[in-house]
Structure 1
Amino acid sequence: MKRRAGLLFVAFVCLLAACVCLSACGSEAEVAQTTTSATATAGFGEDAASIMVYAGAGMKKPMEEIGLAFEEQHGVVVEYNFTGSGAQLSQIELTHQGDVFMPGSAMYLDTAEEKGLVEYRQNVAYHIPVITVPQGNPANITCLDDLAKPDIKLVWGDPEVAAIGKTGIGIVKKAGIYEAVWKNVVATFPTMNEVMLQISLGQADAAINWWDTVKFDDTIEVIEIPREQNDIKLIPVGLLKFSEHPQTSRGFMDFCVSEQGKAIFEKHGFVTYPDPDYEG
């Protein structure tokens, strides 16, 4: 009798262990299936934990906010390189690494496309050049021609690497004052943020910068450049041909031009594409 009871107890223990094991295996399978499904959904059908985006320094604030919103909605981390557009183009061409390129001017994406580096593109917003001066405008700058006056101290974006530097040179050449203006340039900087800082600190009398960059800075005053003298730049975004996560990257690009993405750009002072006032 005791022997029979002992055997029954052993059988019961074995059965219980088998049920626990089956239950655990089922749960693990369910978790694995759910995790795989979530990854595919978040990564637009790809197993993408992150994407690499080259964005012009002038888009830092809106792009960081867009990156966080995209990660929250899709579970994909957006890693950024915020340097001058020219420097970014050189890095892209040299390394063939990264997923998305959003330079401060379409001319850089045009060049990348001509070099066979870009597969797909969309238009996002506009960069509008303005004259910036320190609060109080101590040099009494009122127009482009004032930048050519003797003894005016200017800072400038480095035209070799910064979209605003190259654009500014085009504007003063168009106005026929390039040589006189360039004599007044006391320093150049690789990004527009550094140019803005110099004006904010009163280290120079004026600079040409993007309107969206300085719009909310109360240490800087703005003099608008008339449309006929200006060179408004379209901000595009392009998918790099060697992207390791092309579908996820396209999803990110679509997010940038979505209503939510546009609202973020507008919040940071940008005019979003398309706008009839800046077309043609």
Structure 2
Amino acid sequence: MKSFLRMCLTALLVVFLGTAGGCGVGETDTTAWPRADQEIQQGSKQEELLVYCGAGLRKPMEEIAVMFQEETGVLVQFSFGGSAQCIGKILTVDKGDAFLPGDVAELKELIEREMIDRQKAVVFHVPVLAVPRGNPAGITGIEDLGAPGVKVVLGDPEANPIGKLADKVLKEYSIFDKVEPNVVARTATVNELFTYLALKQADAAIIWEDNLLGSEDVELIETAVLADYIKTVPVVSLKCSANPEMANRLVEFTAGEKAMAIWEKWGFKPVPKVE
């Protein structure tokens, strides 16, 4: 009997140790892409770049990183998060090679501190009014966000560009005071806004158009109001980069023709090239 119990305990310990090494949800927002478990020849060191990136840009940037590594052999290490979170990390550790926020206006503090080496405009970020599939609350425009009983979720204006944009729109159309009591959550990233809608935990949100690509759970409500609030996504290299030549090469690559095919695949519209 004791022998049997020892065998059972041993089996449980093996299972525990086999799973304990995995990261739990939310433990880290730093991702190596492709994953750093790829074999590296003994005695050689993998050349890397650290890129801070808005969470809503994750899908295209992960693909672009793969293509960049295939061309240069350089591994791109990402730190994803809200723009404010990314900027906070850059200012705190003074380390990293490049940064992509959801709106060029987010670069203001880095520009003032003279921390940017090279800057390129990449794609447009188009805001839209979105609702859960089927539009259960019957939303027809931004004015409906202030209607009694409507549950609204918005980005945190202190954390991300979509939150700043939403507040600006609501204030300029003089409906902020009506909508604010209906706000059930403010999120740190645009991806969280999408999740609220997909799970039908909110009736409406202002998100980016590209978030809707391929979605079966969230739909767009056509409104001309938001057409005046389109933003531009930039990519910049940082002066704190340990590899400025390769950081600048990544900037050019991210805004270049090869990468643009990936941006468009994920629903982004390219910024016209200035001749």
Q: TM-score, normalised by structure 2?
A: 0.80
Whole-angstrom CA distance in 2 between matches of 1:135 and 1:238: 37
Measured after TM superposition, the shift of residue 105 of structure 1 is 0.6
- Structure 2 residue runs without a partner (length 5+): 1-44
132 and 100 in structure 1: CA distance in 2 versus 1, 3 angstrom threshold: same
Aligned to 2:185: 187
Asked whether the 8 Å contact 1:117–1:240 carries over to 2, the reply is: yes
Aligned to 1:83: 81
Aligned to 2:8: none
Measured after TM superposition, the shift of residue 114 of structure 1 is 1.4
Measured after TM superposition, the shift of residue 229 of structure 1 is 6.0
Aligned to 1:107: 105
Matched positions, count = 230
Q: Which amino acid aligns with 1:82?
A: F
Secondary structure, aligned partner of 1:247: helix
Measured after TM superposition, the shift of residue 75 of structure 1 is 0.3
Aligned pairs (5 A) from 1:49-198: 49-198=47-196
Measured after TM superposition, the shift of residue 227 of structure 1 is 5.2
Structure with more of its chain in helix, by fraction: 1
Q: Which amino acid aligns with 2:160?
A: A
Identity %: 39
Shifted more, 267-276 versus 234-243: the winner is: 267-276
Aligned to 1:210: 208
- Structure 1 residue runs without a partner (length 5+): 1-46
What stretches of structure 1 move > 4 A for 4+ residues in a row? none
Measured after TM superposition, the shift of residue 232 of structure 1 is 0.8
Residue from 230, 241, 244 that aligns with 1:243: 241
Asked whether the 8 Å contact 1:101–1:109 carries over to 2, the reply is: no
Deviations 1:87-107 (A, max 9, x none): 111111111110101100111
Measured after TM superposition, the shift of residue 163 of structure 1 is 1.5
Deviations 1:41-73 (A, max 9, x none): xxxxxx970001111111000000000110111
Q: Could you say what the CA RMSD is over the residues aligned between the two structures, in angstroms?
A: 1.7
229 and 261 in structure 1: CA distance in 2 versus 1, 3 angstrom threshold: closer
Asked whether the 8 Å contact 2:103–2:233 carries over to 1, the reply is: yes
Asked whether the 8 Å contact 1:130–1:211 carries over to 2, the reply is: yes
229 and 68 in structure 1: CA distance in 2 versus 1, 3 angstrom threshold: closer
Q: Which amino acid aligns with 1:116?
A: E
259 and 197 in structure 1: CA distance in 2 versus 1, 3 angstrom threshold: same
109 and 249 in structure 1: CA distance in 2 versus 1, 3 angstrom threshold: same
Asked whether the 8 Å contact 1:171–1:230 carries over to 2, the reply is: no
Secondary structure, aligned partner of 1:82: strand
Asked whether the 8 Å contact 1:93–1:117 carries over to 2, the reply is: no
Asked whether the 8 Å contact 2:235–2:255 carries over to 1, the reply is: no
